[in-house]
Amino acid sequence: MSNTQKQITADEARRAYYRAWRAANKEKIKLYNEKYWERKAERLEREAAGEQEGK
């Protein structure tokens, strides 16, 4: 293999695919992120409430 040719690994191919998918589906990514942070906030609230009940 010469210096100008590069062998693409499976990880690089996967990253390229997901990068292209995210670029083509920006609205879906926005919704997924919103849902993730809503669930994260709810979990933190439950944990905080649980700590206060235990004291």
Q: Residues 38-50: pLDDT tens digits? A: 999 999 999 999 8
pLDDT exceeds 90 at position 1: no
Assess if residue 41 is contained within a domain: yes
SS3 (DSSP) at 15: helix
Which residue matches tokens 């083509």? 24
| Number of domains present in the structure of the chain | 1
| Residue bearing the bigger pLDDT, 52 or 27 | 27
Assess if residue 9 is contained within a domain: no
Which residue matches tokens 């979990």? 43
Structural domain boundaries, residue 54 = 27-55
Tell me what pLDDT residue 6 has.
80
Question: 19 pLDDT band (50/70/90 cuts)?
Answer: very high
Helix (H) or strand (E) holding 2: none
Percent of the chain with pLDDT over 90: 75
Count of C-beta atoms within a 10 Å radius of residue 18: 10
Assess if residue 11 is contained within a domain: no
pTM (predicted TM-score)? 0.64
